[in-house]
Amino acid sequence: MSAASELLLKDAAAMADAVRRGEVSASALVQASLARIEATDGRVNAFTDRTGRRALQRAAALDAQLAGGAAAPTRALPLLGVPFAVKNLFDIEGLPTLAGSKIERESPPARADAALVQRLEAAGAVLVGALSMDEYAYGFTTENSHVGPVRNPHDLERIAGGSSGGSGAAVAAGQVPLTLGSDTNGSIRVPASLCGVFGLKPTFGRLPRSGTYPFVSSLDHLGPFARSVRDLALAYDAMQGPETGRLRDPGCAQRVAEPVTPLMNQGAQGLRIGVLGGFFRTRAVPEALAAVDRAAAALGAGETVELPMVQAGRAAAFLITNSEGAALHLQDLRTRPQDFEPLSRDRFLAGTLLPAAWIARAQRVRRLYAEGVARVFERFDILLAPATPCAATPIGREWFEINGQRLPVRPNMGVLTQPISCIGLPVCAVPVWGGEAGAAPLPIGVQVIAAPWREDLVLRVAAALEAAGVACSPVAQLGDPS
C-alpha cells in the first residue's frame, strides 16, 4: 500500500498536515481516493457521480501553488489536499443535481457549486464526487430503487441509514475522510449511527443551504460527516459565516463565524450533562441504551431528564414534513407519478391532502415544544440520547421490534432524531460500538445535544468521548475487492 493510500485511512487533519509538510502531494491523495472508490464502490454503492478529472486538476493546482510563490498562504489552508464528497442534492458545477431521483436526471447541469462546496474547496479540500441518498431525502435507509441500496461497509448485507446513506458509507469505507449531507429529521445522525462515523447537525440556520435541493425548507439542515471530531470541527469552521450576494439562503442566520477548533481540547469538565429518559429510553433496544450509558458514565452524567411535549413535537414534524415536502413536488405528482419511487410517491400524495389547519396547528405545537425544551437547557448544557433505536438492520427488512412493538423500519429508524431536529438544536452523533448477541460488532450512535448556537459544546463533549475511547470510527475492513 502506498503512503497516500495509508494516509487516506486516517483523518482529514492528518492528511492536510502531511501535504503541508511535503510528505505527500495533494495529487497523490486524490489519486488514492479515486482508486479506493474504484476498488470498493462496486460493493458499497455510495457514489452516483465521480468528478475525477476536476479533482485531479484541482489537486495539481494546489501542488503547483505549494511549489511556487503562493506556498505560504496555501500551506495555511486547514483542509489542504483533503478529498471529500457530497450528497447528490448539493449542486456540483456541470452536473444535474439529482436529489436521489429519476426525475431530476433531466434537469440542466448546475451552473455553480453549492455554497458549502465552495467554502470547503476554499479551505483546500478537493471534491471527488456525489453520493447516493433516499429519493428527495424522504427516508432513513437509502434503499434507493433507482440506483440500488447503499450498503453498510461494516456489514454489506445491512443498510447504511438515510437519507444521507452515501455520505455515511463513503467515510466508513475509507473512500474519503469527509463528506457533506443534509438532515431534516435525522438524515445525518442516522447514517452516522449505523455506519459508525461522526456526524454534526448544526443549529437550524447556522450553515447556508444555497445551491442545494430542498426537502422541507423550514426543517432542512446541512452538515459534515467525518472519522474524527477534529475533522468535524475543521470542516464546520471552514463552512461558517454569513452569506453575501444576491442568491442567499433566506433561512440562514447571518451570524459571524464562531470558530470551534481551538476549543476542542477543553474537555467536558464543568458542563451540566443530563441523560434523556422517557420517550428516548422506551424506543431503543438494550444495545442502544448501553451505548448512551457508556457515554454518560465516561462524562460523569448521572441525572435523567425528560423533554416536555416530545411526542407532540415529533407528530408536528411529521405533518410539516409531509405537507411541505409534498407541495414542492405537486406538479410532478400530477404529471409523472410513475417516475417517483413508490413509497416516496405515496407519502407525498398523502401530504397533498393534509388540511391547512393541521399544519398551522403543527407549527404552533413546534413553537410550544421549543419553548419547553429551552427551559430544560436552563438546567443542563448537554443532553445525551441514542441516535437510532438499534444497529443497522438487514437490507430489505420492512419491520423491526422495539420493546415489544412491531414498527416499520423506514419511518422509525429516525424516531429518536426527529424530535431534536424539529426544533433545530445542534447535535453531534458519536459512534459507540456494541452489537447484537452472536453477531459481528456494529455501531450505534449517541446524540450529544445542546441549546441553539452551542456547537462548541457538542463538539467539546464529542471530543472528550473520543479521547476517552468511548467513541471511535474505524475504517471498515472491506478486504480484497476481487
Q: Could you tell me the three cell numbers for 340?
A: 417517483
In one-letter notation, the amino acid at residue 335 is T
Supply the DSSP string of 188-247, one letter for each residue: THHHHHHHT-EEEE--TTSS--TTB--S-TTT-EEEEEESSHHHHHHHHHHH-S---SSS
- In order of 20, 186, 464, the CA distances from 341 in angstroms are 46, 20, 42
Find the catalytic residue in 164, 167, 182, 187: 187
Q: Could you tell me the three cell numbers for 417?
A: 432524531
Prior bond of 210 cis (ω within 30°) = no
Long-range contacts of 434-443 (CB under 8 A, 24+ apart): 434/287, 434/290, 434/291, 434/391, 435/287, 435/391, 436/287, 436/391, 440/154, 440/155, 442/154, 442/155, 442/158, 442/194, 442/196, 442/391, 442/392, 443/154, 443/193, 443/194, 443/195, 443/196, 443/391
Q: How many Cα neighbours within 13 Å face the side chain of 433?
A: 16
Q: For residues 172, 164, 447 and 295, what is the CA-based torsion angle, rounded to 10 degrees?
A: -10
> Cell 479551505 identifies what position?
123
> Cell 422541507 identifies what position?
216
Q: For residues 429, 37, 9 and 31, what is the CA-based torsion angle, rounded to 10 degrees?
A: -130
Residues 6+ away with beta carbon under 8 Å from 344: 134, 135, 136, 138, 139
- Indicate if 182 belongs to the active site: no
Q: Please choose, from the candidates 166, 31, 174, 43, the residue with its C-alpha nearest in 3D space to the C-alpha of residue 482.
A: 43
- Indicate if 482 belongs to the active site: no
Element (H, E) at 461: helix 455-467
Find the catalytic residue in 33, 87, 228, 323: 87
- Indicate if 163 belongs to the active site: yes
What is the C-alpha separation between 61 and 30, in angstroms, rounded? 12
What is the C-alpha separation between 471 and 463, in angstroms, rounded? 9
Other residues' Cβ atoms within 10 Å of the Cβ of residue 438: 5
Find the catalytic residue in 163, 210, 323, 421: 163
Other residues' Cβ atoms within 10 Å of the Cβ of residue 191: 43
* Residues belonging to the active site: 87, 163, 187
